[in-house]
Amino acid sequence: MDRIAMGARLMIVSDLDHTMVDHHDAENMSLLRFNALWESNYRHDSLLVFSTGRSPALYKQLRKEKPMLTPDITIMSVGTEITYGNSMVPDDGWVEVLNQKWDRNIVTDETSKFSELTLQAETEQRPHKVSFYVDRTKAQTVMKELSECLQKRGLDIKIIYSGGMDLDILPQGAGKGQALAYLLKKFKAEGKPPGNTLVCGDSGNDAELFSIPEVYGVMVSNAQEELLQWHAENARGNPNIIHAKERCAAGIIEAIGHFNLGPNTSPRDVADFMECKLENVNPGHEVVKFYLFYERWRRGEIDNCEAYITSLKASCDPTAVFVFPSGVERTLHECIHRMRGCHGDQKGKQFRVWVDSVLSTPTGSSTWEVKFDKWELSGDEQYCCVTTVKLNAKGSSASAGYTWVNVQQKWLEGFEKKDDSTWLF
């Protein structure tokens, strides 16, 4: 977790359902636009934090359904579970904090007396979270009565109503806001607070995120009434919080621009990125740009023009080799030649390509090793290759761009393509 140790340039803390993920966008365009922006401009020195109401089980399910990036930190179950990295190592210190004045049995005992409450699925009942459904019209009264009952029994709890239907009972010290405050305190204690923090949400359980001092906040355009109302009552006039014009992840990109937090043009919004100015040279950008070109080429969204192929070839060492997952080797020039013949072969079909966790390590004064997961969605099939690319600076510094000198891929378990003879990149 080197980027945490360094102090992040920007830390984005985003809710998932209806914030990062738009369930009304079958094409996932705003999410894919965000992904390309993050991997090309932020991944190397910034932190991505997902903060969701979902339990680990439902979070993992969502990751299978939507093209989501791998966050650096995952906060689940409404701020009651914090984990780090891809392997999701739990923060045991946080569990200690949550055990204070909390007794799950008393909560289940008292709540059983309320007929208005319907228990949510078993997966959503967690060590520090008990969750129900309750009708919008009854929510306020139930919350008040329940809170009195539990207080009488000696508990210090918090009740949160979200999405006009979900009621969560948590320890008082829990919640998305408290979990973020805990992380910020930890980074500060280490002398590495993030340069800027942007919180993003759409519903009731996100409200707390917006009350943490010194953070910027975006309520996406499609935010729920309960969040807008909370804002009107508690944070109206705070210039660091906006209600975006755009939905979901597009609203997050809008906020990055509004608050001047860094680059806010997704490579997906650049029509001709082969002619993209080199103001933004980093290995992440190079990789994102290449795979986006590959997607557009096969979708037939860019012209079948020789200049593109010439320019691609010029950015590869003539002897550069691509080692396929099967172990087969071809020169990169040969691979580009094969791709050339596939122009538009995915036209009108479901075909998307994105990269995740692009991280580069210098291996010399002008050489880098770049590792990332390359995803390809083709119809109903989804493939993923753990990819390593070796890049050299073209000139004396990277400002002149890169030369690709080697590519190696291995299938990610569970996402193999049975026959890789038609696999291109």
* Residues forming the site for Mg ion (CB under 5 A): 15, 17-18, 202-203
Binds 231: which of Mg ion, ligand GLC, none (CB < 5-8 Å by kind): none
18 vs 285 by CB, closer to Mg ion: 18
Nearest-approach distance from CB 123 to ligand GLC, in angstroms: 8
Q: What secondary structure, in 3-state letters, does the chain show?
A: CHHHHHCCCEEEEECCECCCECCCCCCCHHHHHHHHHHHHHHCCCCEEEEECCCCHHHHHHHHHHCCCCCCCEEEECCCCEEEECCCCEECHHHHHHHCCCCCHHHHHHHHCCCCCCEECCHHHCECCEEEEECCHHHHHHHHHHHHHHHHHCCCCEEEEEECCCEEEEEECCCCHHHHHHHHHHHHHHCCCCCCEEEEEECCHHHHHHHHCCCCEEEECCCCCHHHHHHHHHHCCCCCCEEECCCCHHHHHHHHHHHCCCCCCCCHHHCCCHHHCCCCCCCHHHHHHHHHHHHHHHHHCCCCCCHHHHHHHHHCEEEEEEEECCCCCEEEHHHHHHHHHCCCCCCCCCCEEEEEEEEEEEECCCCEEEEEEEEEEEECCEEEEEEEEEEEEECCCCHHHCEEEEEEEEEECCCCCCCCHHHCCC
Which listed option, Mg ion, ligand GLC, none, makes contact with residue 131 (CB within 5 to 8 Å by class)? ligand GLC
Q: Do 354 and 287 meet the contact criterion of CB atoms below 8 Å apart?
A: no
Closer CB to Mg ion, residue 124 or residue 202?
A: 202
Q: Which does 120 bind (CB under 5 to 8 A by kind): ligand GLC, Mg ion, none?
A: ligand GLC
Q: Choose from ligand GLC, Mg ion, none: what does 110 bind? Cβ within 5-8 Å by kind.
A: none
54 touches, from Mg ion, ligand GLC, none (C-beta below 5 to 8 Å by class): ligand GLC
Does 74 participate in binding ligand GLC (rule CB under 6 A)?
A: no
By beta-carbon proximity to ligand GLC, the closer residue of 114 and 351 is: 114
**Minimum distance of ligand GLC from residue 32's CB (angstroms):** 23
Residue found by looking up tokens 């009972």 in the block: 169
Query: Least distance in Å: CB of 164 to Mg ion?
Result: 12
403 binds ligand GLC (CB under 6 A): no
Does position 15 interact with ligand GLC (CB under 6 A)? The reply is no
356 near ligand GLC, rule: CB under 6 A: no
Q: Any contact of residue 110 with ligand GLC (CB under 6 A)?
A: no
Piece in contact with ligand GLC (CB under 6 A), picked from 40-48, 53-61, 135-143, 285-293: 53-61
Fill in the per-residue mask, 124 to 143: x = in contact with ligand GLC (CB under 6 A), - = not in contact: x------x------------
Candidates 72, 91, 168, 373; binder of ligand GLC (CB under 6 A) is 168
Residue nearer to ligand GLC on the CB measure, 160 or 198 = 160
Partner whose binding site includes residue 15, from Mg ion, ligand GLC, none (CB under 5 to 8 Å by kind): Mg ion
Residue 131: CB minimum distance to ligand GLC, A: 4
Q: Which of 58, 68, 209, 212 binds ligand GLC (CB under 6 A)?
A: 58
Interacting residues toward ligand GLC by CB under 6 A:
53-54, 58, 78, 120, 124, 131, 162, 166, 168, 205
